[in-house]
């Protein structure tokens, strides 16, 4: 049974109530390099530790009944980093899957991805495709990994496809609305995030799910991603439960979302 040492009794009771847990949590995993530098280690060591920490957070999310966990693993802007660092980061999915896939299967986790997947190296694509195939029948937590993802690129691609469909009479321009646009995004089969977490003290979205987080709650922490443990995650969940989500109205009922 989970213990929540940093929360009082009332908070523990609230966090145990499944209705109060966000269905979709999106995390910007930031601070791997600074975590390593603080310890006199190379940046790559920080990325390795950050990868290993995913296991802990997936298990915690799963135990609390979170339905979708989206992790910002590699952005379209990350290609600007030194080639050696990029090459290492893009080898981590294969290593993660090799080590942790059996446990993810046992935990009933289903792996999905969003992003320009076909532009990733072949070895990254092959490893992730294998993991997606081996977990496709699982119906528990969806571990949604944002790989080579950029929200502006996503929206540009959606606009291009919408334009093509209108020109070919597959889509009536008068029928275009927010829901139709959402159906052209990578996340068309997923709920929008309820909670966005960013680690390492930065307070920006960095081109992450700009359309999808229009009504999400935000939670920032100075903790670097490799140190983002169960206790910190539980604090985020507890704080979320004290938020009043009105979706532009006077009620927290999602049916009234504007």
Kindly give the interhelix angle for 230-241 and 43-63, rounded to the nearest 10 degrees. Answer: 50
What is the length of the chain? 258
In the set 78, 144, 192, 194, the catalytic residue is: 78
Name the residue among 157, 154, 68, 69 with its Cα closest to residue 115: 154
Q: Is 138 a catalytic residue?
A: no
CB 154 within 8 A of CB 148: no
Q: What are phi and psi of 68, to 5 degrees?
A: -135, 130
Other CB atoms within 10 Å distance of the CB of residue 27? 26
Q: Is 30 a catalytic residue?
A: yes
Kindly tell me the sign of the dihedral angle through the C-alpha atoms of 54, 58, 64, 68.
Answer: positive
CB 110 within 8 A of CB 142: yes
In the set 30, 144, 148, 192, the catalytic residue is: 30
Active-site annotation, residues: 30, 78
């Amino acid at each position: 049974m989970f213990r929540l040492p940093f929360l009082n009794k009332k908070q523990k009771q609230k966090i145990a109530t499944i209705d109060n847990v966000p269905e979709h949590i999106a995390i910007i995993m930031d601070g791997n390099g600074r975590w390593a530098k603080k310890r006199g280690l190379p940046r790559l060591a920080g990325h390795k530790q950050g990868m290993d920490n995913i296991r802990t957070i997936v298990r915690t999310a799963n135990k609390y009944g979170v339905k979708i966990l989206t992790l910002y693993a590699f952005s379209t802007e990350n290609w600007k980093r030194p080639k050696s660092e990029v090459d290492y980061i893009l080898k981590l999915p294969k290593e993660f899957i090799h080590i942790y896939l059996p446990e993810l299967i046992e935990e009933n986790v289903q792996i999905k991805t969003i992003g320009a997947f076909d532009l990733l190296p072949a070895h990254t694509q092959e490893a992730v495709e294998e993991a997606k195939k081996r977990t496709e029948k699982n119906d528990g937590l969806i571990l949604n990994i944002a790989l080579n993802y950029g929200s502006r690129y996503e929206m540009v691609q959606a606009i291009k496809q919408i334009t093509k469909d209108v020109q070919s009479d597959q889509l009536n321009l008068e029928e275009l609305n927010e829901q139709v646009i959402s159906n052209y995004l990578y996340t068309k089969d997923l709920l929008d995030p309820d909670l966005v977490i960013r680690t390492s003290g930065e307070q920006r979205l960095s081109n992450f799910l700009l359309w999808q987080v229009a009504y999400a709650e935000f939670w920032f922490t100075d903790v670097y991603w490799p140190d983002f443990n169960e206790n910190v995650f539980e604090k985020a969940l507890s704080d979320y439960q004290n938020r009043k989500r009105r979706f532009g109205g006077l009620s927290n009922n999602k049916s009234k979302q504007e």
